[in-house]
Amino acid sequence: MSECNVDDAASNEAWVPFKDRPEWRDLKPIPQDDGPDPVVQIAYSEQFREVYDYFRAIIAADEKSERALSLTKEAAELNPANYSVWNYRRNILQELNKDLKEELKYISQVIEDNPKNYQVWHHRRVIVEWLEDVTDELKFTEKILKEDAKNYHAWQHRQWCIQQFSLWDQELDYVDRLLKEDLRNNSAWNQRHFIIKNTTGYTDEIIKKELKYSQDFIRKAPNNESAWNYMKGVLQERKLFDFPGVLEFCHELYSKQIRSPFLIACMIDCYEEMLELGKPKKEETLQKATQLCNELAEEHDTLRREYWQYIARSLASKYGADVSGDS
């Protein structure tokens, strides 16, 4: 048995024990076997214990009936994270040829109450696969994301729907709307990268467009790490030096006395690339890079002082000899 709700939040005063329900008198419940000497026995409520005793019984009998379907609902309310309950419920739905649209309505309610539960989202995905209908899926995930913009399960389901059913067309507009509402929405930045990577790809033209897009947001909030990560992610398979506008952009902000650690770190990355490529004025470039490392260590990112001191030493060790040779 997987994790349980010991507090039994799903119980209510009107609940009737199975042993008192006439329609269940023919079935003998199967108690949970905790072994002869359980070390730390879980204090299940009486309702939880009885529901799952009868659930084990219907599995043992391989019963797929209306009452069994109803029982899985009670079991899921008590423990929505139980894989076996949802799996058996799906078996019953198929056996009885139930209305999957109704099941989708039901699981929508369950997810709204348990939005960060993997098993309920998995159940929804299977039902959508069986229906081959995603008419309401983007709208549903949007509703969940309004409550929690970083809900991983909702984003994962949304991405699956988009890929599985080719729903790419309007997604960038949705992401743009989310970022205008909250430019620090890291999940929305990730979604933007996911959409572009799987549609147009990062061509030179797209990269230039996305650099400008991210830089416009960075200007509004230079300390927003998400936008900086996106800008660098756009160039993941390229070199920062291939797009000199990146360093120019950084110089622009730095000249305005902006000292965001993400800005300075990006400048260091640019200078390191220049050193790797053996660009002219290597001594000057190394000096700039190590000076910025020291700024971060001593003023703007002191929590990571040792890291930046290490980077400064590494740069000096790797490129210092070459520099002195050129002097």
Cβ atoms of 15 and 46 closer than 8 Å: no
**Closest of 144, 147, 103, 110 to residue 126, by C-alpha:** 103
**Is residue 212 within 8 Å of 206, Cβ to Cβ?**
no
How many DSSP H helices and E strands does the chain contain?
15, 0
CB of 1 closer than 8 Å to CB of 32 = yes
Token reading at 225: 């790490």
Longest Cα separation, the chain: 95
Q: Is position 73 annotated as part of the catalytic site? A: no
Q: Are 246 and 231 in contact, with CB atoms under 8 Å apart?
A: yes
Only one residue has tokens 């936008």, namely 227
Catalytic site residue from 19, 101, 105, 116: 116
Residue 271's SS3 state is helix
Catalytic sites, residue numbers: 116
